[in-house]
Structure 1
Amino acid sequence: MTYPSFEEILDMQHKLSDWRKRYWIEHDLFTWQWWLLLAMFIVPWIIWFKVIPIEKKAECLSFGLLLAALASQLDEIGLNLGAWAYPYQLTQLNRGLNPYNFSFIPVAYMIVYYYFPKWKHFILGNVGVAVLASFVTEPILIKMGIYKTLYWKPIYSFPIYILLPIIFRLIIYYLLEKNKD
């Protein structure tokens, strides 16, 4: 069985990168979808800045950045497995949906993290965000052509949206307790 050489793979990656850049310039840049993605990236951080008090920003940001990093990795895995794709991008530098992974999702969960310090309320808040993300936002992004599911369904995202913030809250609380000693 023959397989491509490393040099052939690099050549193909270079061509694909060039195609993506040309596609982004001709298809994405300055369309209404692009402007929406830009707003989706900026507006949540403006809200975050206004609603989270200065003394809680570092703790909330730690929680949110953990979520953003994992959301980005899971997004990359889904893209590589062919579960979904993004016909519109804010930039052509990567394939993930950065406004969603690094703004919309982490900011929503940081707000829940701050406003619902009791576990029961935090979990209920997470379920609310999970419902919004899975059954409202994802279908809207699909209808707008920004998000294209191939074999993934929004229902598959629902438990992930609930579980990840719980895990990261446990990690942050553990680190805060360890730091007190």
Structure 2
Amino acid sequence: MDKEQQQEVMERFFDRFDQLHDELSQFWLDHIFLHWDWWIAAILTILPWICWIFYHKKDSTHRLLYAGLFSIIIGMTFDYIGTSLGLWHYTGKVFPSFPSWSPFHYSLLPVTIMFLIQVKPHIAIWKKGIIYGLLAAFIGEPIFVWAGYYVMTGWISIFSIPIYAIIYMFCDWLTKRESFERLSLDK
């Protein structure tokens, strides 16, 4: 297959994806937007950040946000892989998007990680990572499965433990870096 044929095939895939997204957007407007599950998801997207604004350690704001941003990037990457492989999907979306569930990736994951990083900093990072993985996999995920937001089609919660633990440990490690140097205009 030459490059021109590849481009034609890829254009057909993107046209189908665009059509599917249009259908999802219409379904979202008709059946999800402003319904009770949408309101809960919207609150779960906003409320954790409001709590974080008032209760985070103010002198660590930038370090914590740095860790939070990386948790979003890593979580979204893993989520894209998992949904692409058909291991899970979401309902009750705040936005008609593929594949992520924004309350988790943009709010619950980063805020809980940032809170845990600043609480009991003397506890070993690996212990907190395992605790976070266990809580997220065996309490968080089942709650969202029960509520109907998260549908596992080829995944079991025990697989999530090391993933959550590693995401937490990496983000905690990032907050402890002392290698940032001020940028100057001089060369």
Judge same fold: TM > 0.5, yes or no.
yes
Return closer, same or farther for 1:127/1:47 CA change in 2, 3 Å cut-off: farther
1:66 counterpart (41, 65, 70):
70
Distance of 2:108 and 2:84 partners within structure 1: 22
Letter paired with 2:134: V
> Cα deviations across residues 14-52 of structure 1 (Å, max 9, x unaligned)?
210111101111221112211111111111111111111
Letter paired with 2:31: H
2:38–2:93 CA contact under 8 A, matched in 1: yes
- Does residue 57 (structure 1) correspond to residue 58 (structure 2)? The answer is no
Runs of 4+ in 1 over 4 A off after TM superposition: none
- Does residue 77 (structure 1) correspond to residue 81 (structure 2)? The answer is yes
1:172 counterpart (171, 175, 187):
175
Determine the structure 1 residue equivalent to 2:140.
137
Determine the structure 1 residue equivalent to 2:128.
125
Letter paired with 1:13: F
1:116–1:125 CA contact under 8 A, matched in 2: no
Distance of 2:80 and 2:107 partners within structure 1: 16
Return the offset for 1:119. Answer: 4.7
1:67–1:106 CA contact under 8 A, matched in 2: yes
Determine the structure 2 residue equivalent to 1:104.
108
1:86–1:147 CA contact under 8 A, matched in 2: yes
1:79–1:85 CA contact under 8 A, matched in 2: yes
Q: Which has the higher helix share?
A: 1
2:24 counterpart (15, 20, 24):
20
Determine the structure 1 residue equivalent to 2:185.
none
Determine the structure 2 residue equivalent to 1:152.
155
Return closer, same or farther for 1:53/1:169 CA change in 2, 3 Å cut-off: closer
**CA RMSD between the two structures:** 2.2
Return closer, same or farther for 1:51/1:123 CA change in 2, 3 Å cut-off: farther
> Cα deviations across residues 94-117 of structure 1 (Å, max 9, x unaligned)?
320111011111111101111232
| Equivalent position SS for 1:148 | strand
| Equivalent position SS for 2:176 | helix
Return the offset for 1:171. Answer: 3.3
Q: Percent identity of the aligned residues?
A: 26
Q: Which runs of 5+ in 1 are unaligned?
A: none
> Cα deviations across residues 38-70 of structure 1 (Å, max 9, x unaligned)?
111111111111111321111111111111111
Distance of 1:155 and 1:74 partners within structure 2: 15
Distance of 1:73 and 1:49 partners within structure 2: 26
Which structure has the bigger radius of gyration?
2
2:88–2:154 CA contact under 8 A, matched in 1: yes
1:68–1:105 CA contact under 8 A, matched in 2: yes
TM-score between the two structures when normalised by the length of structure 1:
0.88
| Equivalent position SS for 2:78 | helix
Distance of 1:171 and 1:97 partners within structure 2: 25
